[in-house]
């Protein structure tokens, strides 16, 4: 089998150009006689990659000097714990919006730290939706407001971000670098790389440097943002190969026209599937229309048997990874930056055909 249309929610499809470049450089990175995987993280070859990865993210998001770009480990899940550990001072709380499965996991970790306040909760609503600005009231002793910019399982996305008086902290694991945004609105943004940035193993954190200045003495060295800011994410051995692919993927994004161009393409791709859902009696979207994600399109068929058949038949036609998350079932088409528009056309044609035969 050749390459398939990979609709997986993550690890997810990467740009073919990036994979080919990595393949070409795998055995002998730029005449060094070794793979970048085998190179010292203090050597000049890796240093250039590390520097480029930071520069690419800085350029794509137009970051000011107030922000640090960090490459950490432990996934977005580690950030769920690091954020309250580092940002909440004695007497403060972290405010959280609960918009679904991933926000709930962030909340669980903040509760372990004993400093969590849920200020809005839409996690049990159908159709799935994000909280509305009027539903959010931050605490008087709030250190930050945490949101999940895109709920990967629920298929919902914040379209405009809430404006609050405290730093906004966002889990952007499943929509980072998919659209332009004003980072100045945020205190901290984080994302596991394995959807829109590269392979798993590296977590991108973009944070206002001043927020890292006050941290409790009991926080371990590796779990302090200040450690990684002070050492340019080289306090210990970073996940060099994952950062290398991230550098290539962000270089690819810049060459494609940056975030404006990506947003236009992402919107157009998602709209094709949502338009079909809206014009059909057979498919039913699970997200409230005004919060529909451009990254993860979730929908149901009339029965679970038909869903299983749909996923199996799609698989035979080179469309893989369409099964909804095991906690909710249904169908989910994850169409991140690297997912080609032609693959969406193939899916839409397949959906029309399947509905005509089985509707």
Ligand X SMILES: Cc1ncc(COP(=O)(O)O)c(C=O)c1O
Which residues carry out catalysis?
102, 171, 195
Judge contact between 319 and 187, C-beta under 8 A.
Answer: no
* Residue of the chain from 174, 286, 334, 337 that contacts ligand X (CB under 6 A): 174
Please say which residue, 25 or 125, places its beta carbon nearer to ligand X.
125
Number of residues that bind ligand X (CB under 6 A): 11
Task: For the CB of residue 139, give the shortest distance to ligand X in the complex, in Å.
Answer: 23
Site for ligand X in 134-173 (CB under 6 A): 148, 152, 171, 173
> Residue 246: what are its φ and ψ, rounded to 5°?
-60, -40
282 binds ligand X (CB under 6 A): no
Residue-wise over 31-56: b if at least 16 C-beta within 10 A, else e?
Answer: eeeeebeebebeeebbeebbebbbeb
What are the C-alpha distances in Å from 55 to residues 61, 110, 162, 251, 341? 10, 32, 28, 10, 28
Please say which residue, 77 or 117, places its beta carbon nearer to ligand X.
77
Site for ligand X in 186-215 (CB under 6 A): 192
What are the C-alpha distances in Å from 350 to residues 110, 149, 315, 317, 354? 43, 30, 11, 9, 6
Sole window of 75-83, 113-121, 176-184, 244-252 interacting with ligand X (rule: CB under 6 A):
75-83
Judge contact between 187 and 67, C-beta under 8 A.
Answer: no
Sole window of 72-80, 117-125, 261-269, 315-323 interacting with ligand X (rule: CB under 6 A):
72-80
Please say which residue, 152 or 266, places its beta carbon nearer to ligand X.
152
71 binds ligand X (CB under 6 A): no
Report cis status (omega within 30 of 0) of the bond before 122: no
DSSP letter string, 169-209: EEE-TTTTTSS---GGGEEEEEEETTTTTSSTT-EEEEEEG
d(CA 80, CA 103): 9
84 binds ligand X (CB under 6 A): no
Please say which residue, 85 or 276, places its beta carbon nearer to ligand X.
85
H helix or E strand, kind and range, residue 255: helix 240-255
Query: What mask of x and - would describe binding to ligand X in positions 8 to 47, judged by CB under 6 A?
Result: --x-------------------------------------
Query: What mask of x and - would describe binding to ligand X in positions 292 to 331, judged by CB under 6 A?
Result: ----------------------------------------
Applying CB under 6 A, the residues found at the interface with ligand X are: 10, 75-77, 102, 148, 152, 171, 173-174, 192
């Amino acid at each position: 089998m050749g390459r398939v249309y990979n609709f997986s929610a993550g690890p997810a499809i990467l740009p073919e150009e990036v994979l080919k470049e990595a393949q070409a450089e795998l055995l002998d990175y730029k005449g060094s006689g070794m793979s970048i995987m085998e190179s010292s993280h203090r050597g000049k070859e890796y240093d250039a990659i590390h520097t480029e990865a930071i520069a690419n993210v800085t350029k794509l998001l137009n970051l000011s000097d107030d922000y640090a770009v960090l490459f950490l480990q432990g996934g977005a899940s580690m950030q769920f714990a690091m954020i309250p550990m580092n940002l909440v001072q004695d007497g403060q709380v972290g405010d959280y919006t609960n918009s679904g499965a991933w926000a709930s996991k962030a909340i669980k970790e903040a509760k372990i730290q004993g400093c969590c306040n849920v200020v809005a909760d839409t996690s049990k609503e159908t159709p799935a939706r994000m909280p509305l600005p009027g539903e959010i009231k931050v605490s008087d002793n709030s250190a930050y407001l945490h949101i999940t910019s895109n709920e990967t399982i629920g298929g919902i996305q914040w379209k405009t971000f809430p404006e609050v008086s405290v730093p906004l902290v966002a889990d952007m694991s499943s929509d980072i670098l998919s659209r332009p945004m004003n980072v100045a609105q945020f205190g901290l943004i984080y994302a596991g790389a394995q959807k829109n940035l590269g392979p798993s193993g590296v977590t991108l954190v973009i944070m206002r440097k001043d927020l890292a200045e006050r941290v409790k003495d009991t926080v371990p060295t590796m779990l302090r943002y200040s450690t990684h800011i002070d050492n340019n994410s080289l306090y210990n051995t970073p996940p060099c190969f994952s950062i290398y692919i991230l550098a290539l993927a962000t270089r690819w994004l810049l060459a494609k026209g940056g975030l404006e161009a990506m947003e236009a393409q992402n919107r157009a791709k998602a709209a094709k599937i949502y338009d079909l859902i809206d014009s059909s009696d057979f498919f039913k979207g699970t997200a409230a229309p005004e919060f529909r994600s451009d990254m993860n399109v979730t929908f149901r068929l009339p029965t679970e048997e038909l869903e299983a058949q749909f996923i199996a038949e799609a698989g035979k036609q080179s469309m893989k990874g369409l099964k909804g998350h095991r906690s909710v079932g249904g169908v989910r088409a994850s169409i991140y930056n690297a997912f080609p528009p032609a693959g969406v056309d193939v899916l839409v044609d397949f959906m029309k055909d399947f509905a005509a035969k089985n509707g």
